[in-house]
Structure 1
Amino acid sequence: MKSFLAALLAAAASFSLLPSVQASKEVFAHVILGNTADLQTTDWESDITLAQEAKIDGFVLNVAFNDPNNDQSLSRAFEAAASKNFSLFFSFDYLALGPWPQASVVDLLNRFVSSPAYFKQDDKPFVSTFEGPGNADDWPGIKSQTNCFFVPDWSSLPATEAVSRAGGVVDGLFSFNAWPVGPTNMTTEPDKDFQSALSGAGDKKYMMPVSPWFYTALPGLAKNWMWRGDNLWEERWKQVLEIQPDFVQILTWNDFGESHYIGPVRELPAKQLIDAGGAPVDYVSGNTHDGWRKQLPFYIEQYKSGTTEQEFEESVVAYYRTNPAQACGSGGTTGNNADFPGQVEIPPDQMVEDSVFYTALLKEPAQVEVEIGGVKVEGNTAFFSRPQGDGAGIYQGSVSFGGKTGDVVVRVVRDGNVIAEAKGGAPIAAECTAINWNAVCISSP
């Protein structure tokens, strides 16, 4: 074990060369405003408190054009955020309900940018989009009327083209490319493409996406595919340390339909999506993702300060799918989506592992025990986050289902004592009518 850790520590030594301080460095979580119509101000306050406990700096509000609930939801969100000293900014969605007219963008910004909660960069209100490069020529006029700091997601374009649209109107770019293609893990190549294009265009900012999962099964809305989530959360935070972006945006806080939510499951909007989309199985109820927030304070502080020299409580996080990949029918789900350039659809069981994945935030090495259905299985542990010193940081590993079903318990043991334990998630089961490709994520208290 010691020689294995030593080799990994040596391989990770390059992290010590990374800059320890950088301007900006804010971490936001993407919120689908359309999933918040039933949230009262107190509900917003509750979600904001959870986000602040995870050291998230603010919410990115994805706003669809002409959604009848926009005014009510925005008023409640900004009231709550102002009371909690929390940041918000708009991401204008150009796909959900059609493109935003220029005048409507200006009107909405002018109504809310004076709020103390509205996030500003260089004293300018920060604004993003979900797609909309076809309306790029609107933005010189919008910027002249609002003085906004414009960082859109135009990921449907190559980064070099996006950065030059409308005479180079952008102040930076956000990438929605947060998931790997096929059975391999996510790389930093897309992030480096964005950084290269932005650096070649002057002092423009890069907002990097981080996401834990992706699975959507809403055939009624023409959505039924998945991308690999195995090791994705922890690997992307390693990549944040490597890339050192100006901003990070977590995808997402509450997109239940695409299974990458890290906020609490809100039963009503989740059920509405499942019903409206004709899902073959309810893949949200009981599939908590709260555990993915547990170690966020450590990840975020490491990104912002470049150090693991921080106070933390030892913890363990585990996530897994609740059905073996070949337990029953796929529900029509494909691995990859052929509508995206360069993607070839393959069976989803060829993209994912039947494994329990775990991360342990430790002050020094310890053993990890995984129990499935009351039976212990052996696991492997790897170390990534501290290049030198006393071994404090994140350890990661996984164990195969191995045909086992039942409740999942993951324990961290040192000198015969259990120092952290994650349990209480939905059990792994082989009985199903259609596979639920979503994950359950649990953590120690």
Structure 2
Amino acid sequence: MRLARRAGIDAFALNIGTDAFTDTQLDYAYASAATNHMKVFLSFDFNSWNPSDFSSVGTKIAKYANHSAQLSVDDKVFVSTFIGDALNVADLRAKAGVPIFFAPNFSPGSSNFQELDAAFNWMGWPNNGANKAPSSSANFTVRDGDVAYMNALAGKDYVAPASPWFFTHYGPEVPYSKNWVFPAEGQWVQRWQDLLGLETRFVEIVSWNDYGESHYVGPLSSQHTDDGNSKWTNDMPHGAWLTLATPFIRAFRAGATSPAKYINRDLIVYWYRPNPLSLNCDATDTTMLDAFNSSGEYFHGKPNGWETETDTIFVTALLKSPGNITVVSGNGTFQFNAVQGVNAFTVPMGVGSQIFGLWRGGKVVLQETSPMNVTEICACGNYNFNAYVGRVPSSREKDQLQPAGTALLTNGIRVPPAQCVAVTGSAGEVGDDDGSVSFSESTSETFASSESTSESSTNQKRAWGSPSRWEWIRGWRDFVDLG
């Protein structure tokens, strides 16, 4: 939570189901938030809750409404959901017995938005309108979602999503098998630039710790159990994405249209998949085996939508003054002129080492080699469409899964575990306050939030923001240790 607070995030969305451990975990989360001067709020996951059970939902809201860590907006208890469009909002408000600021993840056109205070759009990635990657005949952008929600809200507050990635690859080793990608690739920077001009009150980052869908911006090293995602998250840190977002978060909170004012140190952030698209892992990937597929989300081999990905290295430079950015990817060498502020570049992926540098006046200012090579080896025997995210200068802290976070690793692989260790690279970085961005406290009325998650069978998660413009992070339901 301290890491999120330093980044300018105001609250965590606690995405909860009906698991037996829910209340215990909520007690931990609220206590940790109070200790760390963070706010939290309930987000009811209607993959678990029944929309007809407004009574239980209202009772849960009332239980935590007066806690010091509860997020309030306009003097109302802030409440959200994941889906749940059939919920009777009037009955819910009556049962809660306290004023609530209700901002659910309802779909435009499927419910009466006039009953809401705001609405949250979870779909933070290009898609086909049916929860899969876009196609030539059906391509809905994140901006299309913004327009649909804002039109349906007719002037009411909109909770806009910001998400860096999406990849999930569960095989028959778990009962919730699913295997697809959304083509997020370079959208993290572009999305933040769009949000600075969107004039929305809230932003929700999807997500803080949803390792199962690969859009986590929080540390791998946080205490959590393994729901089977370790076969693609092991040694794949994302913390530098949070560092990259921080000046944008500060700008959003201040109502600024550019993050340049909040960049006070040179920084290069880079990300890429560990393998080219041509790599064939069919012989050893667990998703080549049959699995229960009532959801229709399970596909054999490469994840559904893989054709929408590209073999690309993504590089963003945050600079205090102009310079030259150099990138070496395998046998390819590239150089770019970069201006003061935000610079985004791409280069073709090359097999081998990845080197990133900043030059000024013919002299090296920064240069490092990524700990993760691009290889033509099936790490852990599986396809891995997750992103490795690093930075120059590298972080002081290393970020890697703890033993509990790799507990199911051997269940999800068909090769010796030593093969994972041999080819997945070394531990990466956790985002930290290293002076690369400004961390001064904001006094404006702005919200920032983050989604926190746990390992329940539904595997859905999210994130958020502070009083007139907010930033939130949504997470899964494993929030035993958010401090």
Q: TM-score with structure 2 length normalisation? A: 0.69
Judged with a 3 Å threshold, the aligned counterparts in structure 2 of structure 1 residues 188 and 339 are, in CA distance, closer, same or farther, namely farther
Give the drift of 1:426: 2.6
The aligned counterpart of 1:88 is 40
* Distance change (3 Å), C-alpha of 1:421 and 1:249: farther
Contact kept in structure 2, 1:172 and 1:205, CA below 8 Å? yes
Partner of 1:427: 373
How many angstroms apart in 1 are the aligned matches of 2:81 and 2:304?
Answer: 32
- RMSD of equivalent CA atoms: 2.7
Match of 2:273 among 321, 327, 332: 321
* 1:262 to 1:412, Cα distance in 2 relative to 1, 3 A: same
The residue correspondences of 1:349-368 to structure 2 (distance < 5 A) are: 349-368=306-325
Larger RCO, structures 1/2 (Cα 8 Å, 6+ apart): 2
Secondary structure of 1:134's partner? coil
Q: Pick the structure with more helix per residue.
A: 1
Give the Cα separation in 1 of the matches to 2:26 and 2:390: 31
The one of 259, 263, 270 equivalent to 2:218 is 263
Match of 2:21 in 1: 69
Question: Do the aligned partners of residues 349 and 106 (structure 1) sit closer, same or farther apart at CA in structure 2, a change above 3 Å counting?
Answer: closer
Write the mapping of 1:2-21 to structure 2, written as runs, cut at 5 A.
Answer: none
* Contact 1:106–1:146 (Cα < 8 Å) also in 2: no
**What is the letter of the counterpart of residue 294 of structure 1?**
T
Q: Which residue of 1 is the match for residue 409 of structure 2?
A: none
Task: Give the conservation status (yes or no) of the 8 Å contact 1:55–1:296.
Answer: no
1:420: Cα distance to partner? 3.7
Q: Matched residues in 2 for 1:224 and 1:99: separation?
A: 27
Taking the TM superposition and a 5 Å limit, the aligned residue runs for 1:173-252 are 173-181=119-127, 182=134, 186-199=141-154, 203-219=155-171, 220-252=175-207
Contact 1:318 1:422 in 2 (8 A): no
* Equivalent in the alignment of 2:81: 129
Q: Residues 309 and 268 from structure 1, CA distance in 2 versus in 1: closer, same or farther, beyond 3 angstroms?
A: closer
Q: Kindly tell me: are residues 366 and 136 of structure 1, through their superposed partners in 2, closer, same or farther at Cα, counting changes over 3 Å?
A: farther
Report the equivalent of 2:58.
106
Partner of 1:36: none
The amino acid across from 2:235 in the alignment is G
Show CA shifts across 1:122-167 (max 9, x none). Answer: 110100000111223565544761211000001xx3x1443x16xx
For residue 422 of structure 1, report the CA deviation from its aligned partner.
5.5
1:378 to 334, 352, 360: 334
Paired residue type of 2:385 = W
**Number of paired residues?**
363
2: distance between equivalents of 1:378 and 1:414?
A: 16
Deviations 1:11-38 (A, max 9, x none): xxxxxxxxxxxxxxxxxxxxxxxxxxxx
Q: Offset at 1:372?
A: 3.5
Shift of 1:107: 2.2
1:400 aligns with 2:348: yes
- What is the Cα deviation at residue 348 of structure 1? 3.9
SS of structure 2 residue aligned to 1:350: helix
- Between the aligned residues of both structures, percent identity stands at 27
CA distance 1:418–1:348, change in 2 (3 Å): farther
Distance 1:59 1:141, change over 3 A: closer
After TM superposition, give the deviation of residue 213 of structure 1 in Å: 0.3
Aligned to 1:41: none
SS in 2 for 1:295: helix
Cα offset, 1:224, TM superposition = 0.8
2: CA distance, partners of 1:422 / 1:300: 27
The aligned residue for residue 425 of structure 2 is none
Distance 1:81 1:268 in 2: 16
2:3 to 25, 46, 50: 50
* CA pair 80-442 structure 1, distance change in 2 beyond 3 A: same
| Gap regions ≥5 residues in structure 2 | 128-133, 289-294, 396-483
Q: Is 1:297 equivalent to 2:246 in the alignment? A: yes
